[in-house]
Chains A and B, each alone.
Chain A
Amino acid sequence: MVAIADYGVGNLFSLQSSLRSLGEEAKLALRPEELKSADRIILPGVGAFGDAAKKLRETDMFDALIEEAKAGKPILGICLGMQLLLEKSCEFGVHAGLELIKGEVRPIAGVIPKGLKIPHIGWNGLNFKPHPIFKDIKQGDCVYFVHSFSAQNCPSVIATTDYGAELAAAVANENVIGCQFHPEKSGAVGLAILKSFCEI
């Protein structure tokens, strides 16, 4: 069973539906106990980092996620959920993340050439290193991105995408994995990635 951390940010309808379409039992977890009883956890998220980190703490999921990660449970962060896995973010002030993966969240404006639109919205190709979540997709396959910040100074990048500069598209530190893109909105390629995560 997959628990989707439901801490009050964002719309989980598509994520839950996409997992169900794969035949996975996907439940929304409102309390830390519900993360503990799951086989694997997905940490979604949209909006601002500081606000999301605060809500994770208020729902007591912040510490529970760290405990489950340290116990070896597979965790997949998506978009802002991926960013929360890192050490810190400088979006509207400096905020601490879950510190499960080394690196920080910084604006893409600092790394991409001037003149490109921000946010980076749309379909872009993946260049990835071998990793179990990519076992059923091909180099260059496209996934859907919507973001203005990215993982930087991060040694655990397992996939990048080219938006005038190489941006981190996915990160992983053993059982803790994060995708900057939205697999639940990336058609067949995204579903293949979610399926592979469910098989880890």
Chain B
Amino acid sequence: MLRKRIIPCLDVRDGKVTKGVNFLGNRDIADPVELADFYSKCGADELVFYDITASAEGRALFTDVLKRVASTVFIPLTVGGGIRTLDDFDRVLKCGADKVSVNSGAIADKTLIRRAAERYGSQCVVISADVARIDGGYRVFGRGGRDDTGIEAGKWIKYCVSEGAGEVVLNSIDTDGVKGGFDIEMLEALCKSVPVPVIASGGAGNTEDFIELFKKLPWIDAGLAASVFHYKEISIPELKAALSENGIPVRL
């Protein structure tokens, strides 16, 4: 039986891991290579790296970090942040990424997903959608959650999958950093009929939040979180043991 995946997310700026609350106030917490190795040994099923630097120097530091991680950690690696062109796909795939996550880049260039899927395969292209409730609907945000694009989220996710995205990460801006649980309502409204794997992101505060996620939404494939893992509020081995005890299939 396919196992539910637990995915720590590492935001990397200037070669270091950071995590903000509601996308603001980032502070450095660790060496990403060390942290990636630690997570892999703890049983993380996959790692996501977001490059949140804007400068060319930061970008070079990021690809260096990625190469070092891919040389020592042998689980799937997804990379996102600043992916706007096929050259960006190329750059991170050559450094050892297995999948590339796009968000603002796909909003700016509506052909990016299709062209990337045609060149690298759908399994390589992940659409990451930052979504918030606005005026009773769900709206996609760009630029790390700063810009309301006005795009209706359900339609956007369907479009991206029809263009060839092989996986969807739904990040709820409304629950991100709040640690009050995943946004079950938003996930159900936007992702229930999505035919590709769906990764829930935003809001995990404790082990029970993951149990609730997989029990209430059995079609969800993975849960992603950052700070609760980085600050050791949740230990991955304990989380997986608890999920298993609750009848949720995980890789132990």
Contact = CB atoms under 8 A, between A and B. Distances in A.
Interface stretch (B28-36, B67-75, B133-141, B178-186): B67-75
Interface of B: 1-3, 5, 40, 45, 67, 70-72, 74-76, 93-98, 121-124, 166-167, 195-197, 221-222, 251
Contacts of A185: 74-76, 98
Nearest to A47: B121
A18 interface: yes
A72 interface: no
Contacts of B67: 13
A187 B221 contact: no
B221 A11 contact: no
A113 B192 CA distance: 18
11 contacts: A11-B94, A13-B94, A14-B74, A17-B74, A20-B71, A46-B121, A47-B121, A117-B221, A118-B195, A122-B2, A122-B222
A162 B221 contact: no
Contact of B95 (A13, A20, A190): A13
Contacts of A186: 74-75
Contacts of A119: 122-123, 166
Contacts of A162: 1
A122 B197 contact: yes
Interface of A: 11, 13-14, 17-18, 20-21, 46-47, 117-125, 142, 144, 146, 162-163, 184-187, 190-191
Q: Which of B74, B76, B122, B167 has the most CB of A within 10 A?
A: B74
B74 A122 contact: no
A186 B196 CA distance: 21
Contacts of B167: 121
Contacts of A118: 195
A186 B45 CA distance: 9
Contacts of B95: 13
Given A46-B123, A142-B251, A163-B2, A21 B94 contact: no
